[in-house]
Structure 1
Amino acid sequence: MKAEPVLSYRQQLTASLFKEVRVWRLSQPLAGSQHPFKYRLALVSGDQCVLRYDNERGKGDHKHLGDQEFALTFSSMSQLLIDFDRDIQRWREVHEQVDD
């Protein structure tokens, strides 16, 4: 299955927090997915992946939050990226202290 890179970047959010986005367009959907994308979107704190969106052959679209896994509904790549950024913001609100 041929994979064409679509997005690939790493964004440093703080000294110890970064997000990494990798998206490929496939010639056909992975088993378990209804769209032509393979993706891995990750939020890494220190050396630990704390949030990840991905799709695996046979497993379909899902996200990992800590050691829990949840199904995702894929409507478009742009919406998936918006949802990922929203989950990053929620994670940061819970896990980062704001200095006053």
Structure 2
Amino acid sequence: MSNRKAIKIIGLREKVYPGAFVELSIWQVPEPVSGCTHPYKYRLAYVIDGECVLRYDNERGKGDHRHFANVETPYTFRSVSQLYADFYANVQVWNRWRST
């Protein structure tokens, strides 16, 4: 096990509109989380009226995955910038889906 410590890449909570916010937490870790091959631990969530409607995370043992509309699917992690892009694209999809 490494003596290096985790480095916070981002810790942010941002209002999207009244009653909705995104919360981003990404850490660079000394060793990959169980089930992953990359050196990041992350949780990106979109919360509306107190309910998490979208989340990307890599929970220990489960690896990279996404929760969207109460369905969990595997997620292929490519890079931190691609993770942001995929998450925010899904926020837009959710907002369009919600408004129909």
When normalised by structure 2's length, the TM-score is: 0.92
Moved over 2 A (4+): none
Gaps of 5+ in 2: none
Q: Which residue of 2 aligns with 1:29?
A: 32
Q: Which residue of 1 aligns with 2:15?
A: 12
Deviations 1:27-80 (A, max 9, x none): 010111010000000000001000000001111000001221000001101001
Q: Distance in 1 between matches of 2:99 and 2:41?
A: 30
Gaps of 5+ in 1: none
Q: Quick one: which of 35, 51, 56 aligns to 1:53?
A: 56
Q: Distance in 1 between matches of 2:60 and 2:52?
A: 21
What is the percent sequence identity of the aligned residues? 43
Residue type of the alignment partner of 2:97: V
Q: Distance in 2 between matches of 1:96 and 1:37?
A: 33
Residue type of the alignment partner of 1:19: V
Higher strand share: 1
- Work out whether 1:43 is the aligned partner of 2:46: yes
Alignment length (residue pairs): 97
What RMSD over aligned residues (CA atoms) do the two structures have, in Å? 1.2
Q: Quick one: which of 63, 85, 89 aligns to 2:88?
A: 85
Q: Distance in 1 between matches of 2:23 and 2:88?
A: 11
Residue type of the alignment partner of 2:94: W
